[in-house]
Amino acid sequence: MQHSVRQIEEKLVSISEDDTIEISLKQLLFVYKAIEEWRDYFHNDAHYPTLEEVKKYIGNRDQGMYSVLDHIYLKIFDNVFSEDMEDL
């Protein structure tokens, strides 16, 4: 499954640039640092010479970067978005 910026933007066309939410600086920085780590890992092919290395990095709900993504989705964003926003 491939994803692109355009595909994601198309799902968000109904949202105005003026719509806002409130999130703490600490929560925002947690998300930023997680994205920064994913980018740092995947921008360099030497970090993942084998599929096993990628699987190890991704991990699962208890460890690895998937656990970080799961935390962001379930703990940080669950408190930020209302139920009607989750359907967008």
Specify the pLDDT at position 11: 87
Domain assignment present for residue 31? The answer is yes
- The yes-or-no verdict on residue 80 having pLDDT over 90 is no
How far, in Å, CA of 88 to CA of 85, rounded? 6
CA dist 24 → 10, 11, 21, 27, 79 (Å):
27, 25, 10, 5, 11
Above 90 in pLDDT, residue 3?
no
Task: Decide if 52 is inside a domain.
Answer: yes
Backbone angles phi, psi at 75, to 5 degrees: -100, -45
31 and 76 in contact (C-beta within 8 Å)? yes
What is the Cα–Cα distance from 72 to 50, expressed in whole angstroms?
27
Range of the domain at 42: 23-86
In a domain, 80, yes or no: yes
81 domain-assigned: yes
Confidence band, pLDDT 50/70/90 cuts, at residue 2: confident
pLDDT of residue 88: 66
Question: How much of the chain is helix, strand and coil, in % rounded to 5?
Answer: 60, 0, 40
Count up the domains in the chain and report the number.
Answer: 1
Average pLDDT of the chain, as a whole number: 91
